[in-house]
Amino acid sequence: MELILADPALSSQPFLPQEKILPTRLYLTREELWAGILDQAAALNITGIMTLPGSKLFSLLLKHPNRWPLTPWLVIPDVYQLARDASRYGTTGAAARKILRLSLWNQLRLGALMLKHPGQAMKLKFELMMNILAASDGFGLGQWPGAEPGVILHHQITDLALAFDQKNFFTLFISAISGMLKARPALATRNFTRLTGLLAKSGDGRAQILTPVNAKGFLMQPDRKTAEAAVRSWKNNGGVLAEFWHLPGSDNIEADAAYIQNLGIAGAIIQIEDLRNTRKKPAIKRLGDSPSPQPSPLKGEGISGAASSS
């Protein structure tokens, strides 16, 4: 199974108080401490790092591309930075500043994307403009010399587009990431069943989907049983990456690992808090050793057995 370590800068876990998250962030303020964490991750069969564009962790991977067999997964756009810029410069001003910071070559690449969709560009359609903003955060992957990286659309943007039934938005995102950025596209969501139903309408099953999957049914919408059926169906398409599969307070990581394995999960997100727990390390390593369905998200055509929208 593919294991991906989460950058603590991404911590948005509603069940963890800040006093639990802050010590880890403070601990990992120096490069040598991060290097030690990445050494541990590689030893436990972790193959990916989920992080933000421009983060210290991504910079460290770029600085030492041959030290760790780890592939970056960038979560885009950086919605928190985007919100800060929008509050200061307005939505249009924030977008303009983001694009103007790009190199001329990358600005031309975005221009080419707009020329492919002139009608949407002229009307400033959401599905095109938000994809342009998201893609602009992914250009840093052009510096990555290793294996094919991944790009994950932030769950707030995914679920916003989903709320407006923007199926064209997802088709454009998947094509832009796999074509322009040469990366593996993934969609993060808190509404997995509904998302797969919408993707079934567009007939595009190439993307991996990052979503909460756990035995407690926490954040699995509309309910655990329905979400489980959708997860089993999507493993024949892009595959599912399990988030929050091992919840804080759960003492049985082996049972939690067995649960997602039985569902045919392609990958799992590992939290640094668990990586630093000596008792949990053997279970994490065994999970990384375990087989899982590995459909290519870039070669799949159409939807195979997708669950219908609720």
User: At what angle are helices 192-202 and 155-163 packed, to 10 degrees?
Assistant: 60
Average pLDDT in the 213-241 region? Answer: 93
Asked if residue 55 is part of any domain, the answer here is yes
Residue with tokens 């303009």: 96
Asked if residue 58 is part of any domain, the answer here is yes
* pLDDT above 60 (res 16): no
Average pLDDT, the chain: 82
Percent of the chain with pLDDT strictly greater than 70 = 86
Q: In terms of pLDDT, which residue wins out, 138 or 49? A: 49
CA distance 155 to 172: 17
Asked if residue 296 is part of any domain, the answer here is no
Task: Output the pLDDT for position 91.
Answer: 66
CA 34 to chain centroid: 21
Asked if residue 294 is part of any domain, the answer here is no
* pLDDT above 60 (res 251): yes
Asked if residue 301 is part of any domain, the answer here is no
Asked if residue 275 is part of any domain, the answer here is yes
How many structural domains comprise the chain? 1
CA distance 23 to 65: 28
CA distance 86 to 92: 8
Asked if residue 258 is part of any domain, the answer here is yes
Query: 135: domain range?
Result: 2-289
Q: What is the pLDDT of residues 21-67, one digit of tens each?
A: 545 554 556 777 888 889 999 999 999 999 988 888 888 888 888 88
* pLDDT above 90 (res 253): yes
Q: What is the CATH number of the domain that holds 249?
A: 3.20.20.100
Q: What is the DSSP letter of 142?
A: G
* pLDDT above 60 (res 17): no
Q: Which amino acid is at 143?
A: Q
Which pTM was predicted? 0.84
With 0-12 / 13-18 / 19 or more C-beta atoms within 10 angstroms meaning exposed / middle / buried, residue 46 is buried
Q: Which two tokens stand for residue 261?
A: 């394995």
Task: Output the pLDDT for position 309.
Answer: 43
Q: What is the pLDDT of residues 277-307, one digit of tens each?
A: 888 999 999 998 887 555 444 444 455 554 4
Asked if residue 302 is part of any domain, the answer here is no
Helix (H, G, I), strand (E, B) or coil at 37: helix
